[in-house]
């Protein structure tokens, strides 16, 4: 008697691509030093080089939180698609 093969959702989904972009964006922004290695425009007397990096700390936090929430949603959807079976 033949068993029906287990149908698994695709590994690469649009949601997972967005998660990856959220996690990679801060690295790309910080590694591209030429884009922010300058002093102008200053913000409340702080050179651009410093406030740009501090702004990315906040942006990175928001992107990481977004990636985590998207990951949770993805895992709930996969668990529901498997009938609640644990992987």
pLDDT tens digits, residue range 2-56? 677 776 767 888 899 999 999 999 999 999 999 888 889 999 999 999 999 999 9
pLDDT at 27: 94
CA distance 6 to 70: 25
pLDDT at 20: 95
pLDDT tens digits, residue range 3-18? 777 767 678 888 999 9
Task: Check whether the bond before 21 is cis (ω within 30° of 0).
Answer: no
Q: Using CA of residue 20, residue 23, residue 27, residue 30, what is the dihedral sign? A: positive
């Amino acid at each position: 008697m033949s068993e029906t093969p287990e149908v698994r959702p695709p590994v690469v989904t649009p949601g997972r691509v967005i998660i990856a972009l959220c996690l990679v964006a801060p690295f790309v922004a910080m590694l591209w030093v030429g884009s922010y290695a300058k002093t102008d425009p200053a913000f409340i007397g702080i050179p651009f080089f410093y406030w740009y990096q501090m702004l990315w700390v906040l942006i990175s936090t928001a992107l990481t939180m977004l990636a985590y929430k998207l990951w949770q949603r993805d895992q709930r959807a996969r668990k529901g698609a498997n009938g609640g079976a644990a992987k």
